[in-house]
Amino acid sequence: MPEVYVNSLLFIAVFVVVALGLPIVAFGLSRLLRPHHFYREKGETYESGTEPFGTSWVRFKVKYYMFALLFVLFDVETLFLYPWAVVFDRLGLFAVIEMFVFLFLLALGLLYAWRKKVLEWN
């Protein structure tokens, strides 16, 4: 069905035009409408008065890696919970028990991390 194909391409083209147009129009309009009154403090990153220092390219502490790892634990947990949540009423009790076995094993992982003092800073 070539015409369907062309239509879907047309849709993408329209989408691109709109997506590009929106920010251009928005920024352009605001540039035209806003008053032009500049003073030094306006150019600072934070207008709250806090002086920024250093560059924005700072290294993150390796310690954060542990939290990232724990995040992965729960991230993967939700990964399997979502499809399970969709169908568990049709699969019956067995699926519920299976999922709780899975959750139990993951909880053991968390318990392990906790006992290994991963959750403590320092």
Partner 1 sequence: MNAIWLPEVIVLAGAIGTLAFGLAARRSKAMSDLAMTLALITVVVALLPTVGLIGTVEEGFAGAFRIDGLTLAFHLLILIGTGLVLLIARDGRSDGVPPQYLAEYAALLLFAALGGMLIAAAADLLLLFLGLELLSISSYVLVGLKKTHLGSTEAAMKYVLTGATATAVFAFGMSYAIGLTGTTDVYQIGQTMADAGFMARYGRLLFVAFFFLIVGAFYKLASVPFYMWAPDVYQGAPTAVTAFLATVSKASGMALVVRLFLGSFAWVAWEAQPNVIKNFWSESTPYIAALSALSMIVGNVLALKARDVKRMFAYSSVAHAGYLIIPLAAVNPMMIDQIVFYLLAYLLANVGIFAVIDQVGRDRGSYDLSAFSGLYHRAPLVAWALLLFFLSLAGIPLTMGFFGKLNILLGAVWGGHFVLAGLLVVTSVISYVYYFAVLKQVFMRPGTTERPLAFSFGTATVIALAVLGTLLGSLFPGEVMRTMQQAFDAVQMFGIYQGRL
Partner 2 sequence: MTPSELMQYLLFSAMLFVLGLFGALTRRNTVIVLLSIELMLNAANINLVALSRFLPGGAENARLPHPSLAGDFSATLGQTVALFTIAVAAAEVAVGLAALIAFYRLKASPNVDEMDSLKR
Output the smallest distance, CB 62 to partner 1, in A. 14
The site partner of 108 among partner 1, partner 2, none (C-beta below 5 to 8 Å per kind) is: partner 1
Q: Compute the least distance from the CB of residue 59 to partner 2, in Å.
A: 12
- Indicate whether 107 belongs to the interface with partner 1 (CB under 8 A): no
By the rule CB under 8 A, 67 interacts with partner 1: no
Tokens representing 108 are 């053991």
Size of the site for partner 2 (CB under 8 A): 12
Measured CA to CA, the distance from residue 109 to residue 76 in angstroms comes to: 12
The correct pick among 9, 21, 26, 75 for binding partner 2 (CB under 8 A) is: 75
Task: Answer yes or no: are the C-beta atoms of 73 and 106 closer than 8 Å.
Answer: yes
Residue 70 in contact with residue 118, Cβ under 8 Å? yes
Nearest 5 degrees, angle CA 52-CA 121-CA 67? 85
Answer yes or no: are the C-beta atoms of 81 and 99 closer than 8 Å. Answer: yes
Q: Which does 1 bind (CB under 5 to 8 A by kind): partner 2, partner 1, none?
A: partner 2
Residues that bind partner 1 (CB under 8 A): 105, 108, 112, 115-116
